Amino acid sequence: MKELSVIKIHEQDNGQVAVMGRDLHDFLEIGTQYSKWFERMKEYGFVEKQDYEAISQKRLTAQGNMTEYIDHVLTMDMAKEISMIQRNDKGKQARQYFIKIEKAWNSPEMIMKRALQIADRKIIDLNEQIERDKPKVVFANAVDASKSSILVGDMAKLLAQNGVKIGQNRLFQWLRENGFLINRRGESWNMPTQRSMEMKLFEVKERTHNNPDGSIVISKTTKITGKGQVYFINKFLSEQAI
């Protein structure tokens, strides 16, 4: 005779308990093939996605082949009703068993336990979200810390403060190699590319100098905007995390 233990209880994501159709079919010792029996049970008005859900399972046959079959996750209400429909001792045993499970599941102790488990899951989810958002937090802090544009050398220091070990020269090289600064020798050397300017990552500061001979020299300095600082901190931290 089948033991009630063959009807395993499964906790759902919504906190409710459920049983598998094939486990119940097995316990009730139904002679009809499961798929045909379940089709007949559905005629009692059970609604998919409300009372049950079909799922695909896999198992290894005696010949060593993998086969796929359909099982159903049943709500406790559906499992109790199906058990009652059988009108035999096995059905009565199963129904009483499900009533006891529900009673225990809804006891104050179990409700508190589930509440604590949900709280623990929320804390874990929150911690994972914090880890994912770390670059964004640094990004926001960088904006607050730097309202104005800074030199590339100062950007290297800011990155170093956030765990990215890169000096001024290496940062210049990285910016050139990745298409943010012009990599062509000449007057445009280390000036922002068109793409960088359109992204508002850089700005160019011009200064004029008066030479002793009266001529005027204009010097240009590449500076990283507040938006650019946030962008590069995020980019470096994201790449470092991969």
pLDDT tens digit sequence for 87-116: 889 999 999 999 988 888 777 766 566 566
Q: What is the pLDDT of residue 214?
A: 67
Phi, psi dihedral angles at 28 (to 5 degrees) = -70, -10
Domain boundaries, position 175: 142-241
One domain, residues 193 and 108:
no
Q: Which of 78, 95, 114 is the last residue of a domain?
A: 114
pLDDT tens digit sequence for 146-192: 557 889 999 998 888 878 888 999 999 999 999 999 998 888 889 99
Domain count within the chain: 2
One domain, residues 157 and 96:
no
**Environment class of 148 (CB within 10 Å of its CB; exposed 0-12, middle 13-18, buried 19+):** exposed
pLDDT tens digit sequence for 114-125: 566 666 666 666
pLDDT averaged over the chain? 82
Band of pLDDT at residue 1, cut at 50, 70 and 90: very low
- Measured between alpha carbons, how far is 205 from 222 in angstroms, rounded to an integer? 7
Query: Would the pTM of this model clear 0.75, i.e. be above it?
Result: no
Q: Is residue 129 part of a domain?
A: no
